[in-house]
Amino acid sequence: MFALLTVLALWAFAFEPASLRVRETALTLERWPSELDGLRVAVLADLHTGSPWNGTKSLARVVRETNDARPDLVLIAGDLVIQGVVGGRFVSPEVSGEILSGLEARLGVFAVLGNHDWWLDGPRVIRALEASGVTVLEDSSAAIPFRGDTLWLAGVSDYWEAPHDIGRALSAVPPTSAPLVFTHNPDVFPEMPRRVALTIAGHTHGGQVALPGVGRPIVPSVYGERYASGHVREYGRDLFVSTGVGTSILPVRFRVPPEVHVLTLRSPPR
């Protein structure tokens, strides 16, 4: 029994948190325009650079493996930095931003801030990202030319620490368009209007721990496990929650490995 517990502890506190995989997922979305069919979106959530096993070398690996997946678009869904992770070491947003400047995507790299970024200094994190060529969308949108059409991308600010003004974020989006929206905390999802084709979020880390037969003991959401991870379809709307890369509070992951998600967005069959 002691040997088994030792192996499990090593796995949860060392091997799994230090791992990284790129997970490819195809999503067929009810309102995704046929003109944008096949768009590949890489989602980098909760990088928490400086958390155990997630230093600058690990962030550089995230950049390399993301580029190797050849996404059209990269979305950074908040929480670049850490506060108070056991065994962690603070890494400044300027250092992380310099590494993230190596990301390559023909339609660009975009970001929103997470609660940890605001707890540190939101404007500082924005400056660090923008100095690295990352476009920050805080309750704002961007019109991105793609295949002779327009991809509308909107960023909604953090549910906990910012206004998360969905109306403002979508104010410039034509009412006939089905935008792609990304944010940090999925708890904002019930407020999303039906015209949004897909909402992408992070924040939960997938609970960091998923116990067989028990589930995820801790998920930082008022909805418990409802928006813990993956694709959620609810009331005709779609949400995708990334389990993220780094760790928060305790440096543990068990059956919830660090992941970069690459989503291929499909329109419904004609």
Give pLDDT tens digits for 46-100.
Answer: 999 999 999 999 999 999 999 999 999 999 999 999 998 889 999 999 999 999 9
pLDDT of residue 223: 97
Cβ proximity of 149 and 167 under 8 Å:
no
- pLDDT bin (cut points 50, 70, 90) of residue 14 is confident
Q: Enter the pTM of the model.
A: 0.97
pLDDT of residue 85: 86
- pLDDT bin (cut points 50, 70, 90) of residue 112 is very high
pLDDT of residue 145: 96
Distance CA 14, CA 19 (A): 9
Using CA atoms, how far residue 136 sits from 15, 31, 112, 171, 237, in Å, is 33, 25, 6, 17, 25
Burial category of 143 from C-beta neighbours within 10 Å (exposed 0-12, middle 13-18, buried 19 and up) = middle
Please name every residue paired with 154 in a beta bridge, in sequence order, or none if there are none: 141, 181
Burial 96-123 (b: 16+ CB within 10 A, else e): bbebbebbebebbbbbbbbbbbbebebe
Among the residue ranges 8-12, 144-148, 216-220, 253-257, the one predicted with the least confidence is: 8-12
Q: What is residue 9's three-state secondary structure?
A: helix
Q: Which two tokens stand for residue 136?
A: 């920050």
> 187-237, pLDDT tens digit by residue?
999 999 999 999 999 999 999 999 998 999 999 999 999 999 999 999 999
